Amino acid sequence: MKFSVIITTFNRPKHLQKAYASVLSQSQKPDEVIIINNGKNYYKNNFFPQLKKIKLKIINSKKNLFPSKARNKGAKISKNNFLAFLDDDDTWHKNYLSEAKKIILKKKGMIILSKIYKKNNNSEILFKDPTNINLTELFVKNLGVTGSNIVINKKLFFSLGGYKSELEPSEDKSLVIEALFKKIKIFIGESKVFFSTHEELRLTTNYFKLRYGTKNFYKKYKKVMSFSQKIKVLKKLNIFRIKSGQIHYVLNFFFFFLLTKIIS
């Protein structure tokens, strides 16, 4: 059993170096690291320190693939049976992969999530603790699923359809939703992922992308959502519409806002 680590990056070389360093420092070394570069920087192997036992491959994309397509590309060219994804501005605790390996070997785990902590703060959990992850809440909240805390069997990853770019930024939780639909058990690792809260350019501030992804997420899952879930997602969609410049959706927002108050 071997790991392929896939790091996606976009114009954040300093953050990238820290993310990569956290991979090299793992007590359980991966067999390979694949860096998919979406940004303007052109990276060569000599930009990164290397260990003999870890193969390094860098793909400098001519266009921005955004996270989903970049991760999928890395997954396709990976050589190993387990994939571990990492965003360039996040880091892993040194036991991240070793904890995942324990679950894979002892419990035959196919998907492992780890808890997400604020960078430089080992006690503050961000999002929610994913231990009790379930569909009821997952449709309307992020229960601690990001592009940096998922380890998954490669065959399962592709059987679930990989990351769906049209759903960004909900592509990561959609992957877990698809697994839950298939009754795949989600295991929670004991190690930590450290999530960066910097103010640099990131997908979660791209309201056009948020609007597009949320709209498609709603279309994809509305048939299996409850009425309450639909209202909450539509409220969120209208927030993104307004923030992306579609001011005429203000009345829609207040309508769904009032509905959420009534049904809560």
Map out the domains of the chain with their CATH numbers: 3-200 (3.90.550.10), 206-263 (no CATH)
Is 129's pLDDT higher than 80?
no
Instruction: Give the whole-angstrom CA distance, residue 6 versus residue 21.
Output: 13
* Residue with the two structure tokens 């309201």: 207
Average pLDDT for the chain: 90
What whole-number percentage of the chain has pLDDT above 90? 67
pTM for this prediction: 0.91
Confidence label for 261 from pLDDT (cuts 50, 70 and 90)? confident
Long-range interactions of 154-163: CB distance < 8 A, separation 24+: 154/4, 154/75, 154/78, 154/80, 154/81, 154/82, 154/83, 155/81, 156/110, 156/111, 156/184, 157/75, 157/83, 158/75, 162/68, 162/71, 162/72, 162/75, 163/67, 163/68, 163/69, 163/71, 163/72
Q: How is residue 125 written in tokens?
A: 């959990």
* pLDDT at residue 128, rounded to an integer: 66
**Cα atoms found within 13 Å of the Cα of residue 62, Cβ hemisphere only:** 0
